[in-house]
Amino acid sequence: MKKKLLAITLCTTLSLGALTGCGGSAVKKLADTAKEISEQSDSTSATNGPTATPAPKETALAMKKTGEVGDWKFTVKKLASKKTIKTSKYIGQKPSESGNLFVLATVNVTNNGKKEATFLPSVGLENTAMAAKLIYKDNFEYIPTLITGYDKDVMNKKIKPLSKKSGIIAFSVPKKVAKDLKSCKIRIGTKGEAVVFTAK
């Protein structure tokens, strides 16, 4: 829009210059000024344009390999499916969704930071908090299910510096997914950086 206005102004000025007998040097000066303003406008538009969001950094690893994100070092040892998780001798928890099964990811986690920190917090900043998800056939995603009263669940687990914890991450998934573990991946990390463990 600015270019059009400048062009119209310049044409008008040139026409008036011709009618009133303006010197050639004055007209050239006006033309140079209009060109300079136009170039500045283009530069500003390019600077203020939309910026692309960088793709997350993801490292692919096989099960039993060790990955790192920030201060966390972790390994997904294996996947297994279960109908019920026994939280005590007489009490068990089933998936809340009818027909679903649990997929349990057995993990080892080490906090290499200088302070106590929470692994897989249920509340945290999206860009920095560690999170996990199960990915089925690269298209379907499932978030962990917190198993109340189950000490082996590493969700919301506070871990002291240089300390290691072993446990499980539970996912409530359709039976079809639970019976096809080779098509499942476990992603652990932040929004911008993560490790993806494959069951193959």
Residues 134-193 have pLDDT tens digits of 999 999 999 999 998 899 999 999 999 999 999 999 999 999 999 999 999 999 999 999
pLDDT digits (tens, 9 = 90+) for 38-87: 565 555 544 555 666 778 899 999 999 999 999 999 999 999 999 999 98
Q: Where are the domains of the chain?
A: 2-47, 57-198
Q: Is the pTM of this model over 0.85?
A: no
CATH number of 57-198: 2.60.40.1240
Rounded to an integer, what distance in angstroms lies between the CA atom of residue 108 and that of residue 78? Answer: 11
